[in-house]
């Protein structure tokens, strides 16, 4: 029996539908997505500053580099057990927080018999430091800490240390805190 036109049309429509479904599920059809781009403006970036100021020494040390004298640490006519101390202040004059470090180094013939102590947050009476800690503090902008340094001739210094001399140098370093 020959097919009628409406049946043939329905069959073709069914065949086209099945083919369309097969194409969609197989990924052969390209899909389009909308996209857009934009730019955000007005975001300003500035860097901070790291600046350590030293006061209480012979003059003030400001900015990177330089030297300052600590006349209170002069130890003259020392005998075993003698000591001197001096306090100075480290201030964070920048915007970035930092940890200050003070390292004392002695040089020359008497150096091996000199003991140095650095205390943060201590006070000096001229021969020793009172209070404080050896733990280095973190200083935020505008904060400061008193630093007391003691230099002493070791009580067990031998007679061969008589008439000798040495120089004590303090290196100050500021390390940025993240």
| Burial tier of 144 (Cβ tally within 10 Å: 0-12, 13-18, 19+) | middle
Helices and strands of the chain, counted as H and E runs = 1, 9
Could you give the C-alpha distances from 50 to 28, 60, 83, 119, in angstroms and in order?
61, 17, 34, 22
Instruction: Write phi, then psi, for 128 (nearest 5 degrees).
Output: -150, 170
Q: What is the pLDDT of residue 27?
A: 58
Domain-located, residue 112:
yes
- In this structure, what token pair is assigned to residue 56? 């209480």
In this structure, is residue 29 part of a structural domain? no
Residue 132: its pLDDT value, please? Answer: 97
| Assigned domain for 11 exists | no
Handedness of CA 91, 93, 95, 96 (dihedral sign): negative
pLDDT attached to residue 67: 76
Q: CA of 51: how far to CAs of 96, 99, 147, 160, 161, in Å?
A: 8, 11, 17, 44, 40
Query: What pLDDT was estimated at residue 3?
Result: 61
Domain that holds residue 75: 52-176
Residue 34 belongs to a domain = no
Whole-angstrom distance, CA of residue 87 vs CA of residue 118: 10
Q: What is the pLDDT at residue 23? A: 57
Provide the domain count of the chain: 1
Q: What CATH number should be reported for the domain holding residue 141?
A: 2.60.120
Confirm whether 94 is domain-assigned: yes
Per-residue pLDDT of the chain (178 residues; tens, 9 = 90+): 566 677 777 777 776 666 666 656 665 445 568 888 888 787 788 999 988 888 886 666 766 667 777 888 898 999 999 999 999 999 999 999 999 999 999 999 999 999 999 999 999 999 999 999 999 999 999 999 999 999 999 999 999 999 999 999 888 999 999 8
């Amino acid at each position: 029996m020959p097919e009628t036109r409406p049946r043939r049309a329905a069959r073709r429509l069914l065949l086209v539908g099945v083919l369309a479904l097969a194409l969609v599920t197989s990924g052969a059809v390209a899909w389009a997505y909308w996209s857009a781009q934009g730019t955000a403006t007005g975001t300003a970036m500035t860097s901070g500053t790291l600046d350590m100021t030293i006061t209480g020494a012979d003059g003030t040390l400001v900015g990177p580099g330089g030297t300052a004298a600590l006349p209170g640490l002069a130890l003259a006519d020392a005998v075993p057990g003698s000591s001197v101390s001096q306090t100075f202040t480290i201030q964070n004059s920048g915007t970035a927080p930092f940890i200050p470090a003070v390292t004392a180094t002695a040089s020359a013939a008497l150096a091996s018999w000199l003991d140095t102590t650095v205390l943060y947050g201590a006070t000096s009476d001229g021969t020793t430091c009172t209070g404080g800690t050896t733990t280095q503090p973190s200083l935020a902008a505008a904060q400061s800490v008193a630093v007391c340094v003691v230099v002493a001739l070791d009580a067990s210094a031998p007679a061969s240390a008589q008439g000798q001399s040495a120089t004590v140098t303090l290196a100050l370093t500021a390390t940025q805190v993240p």
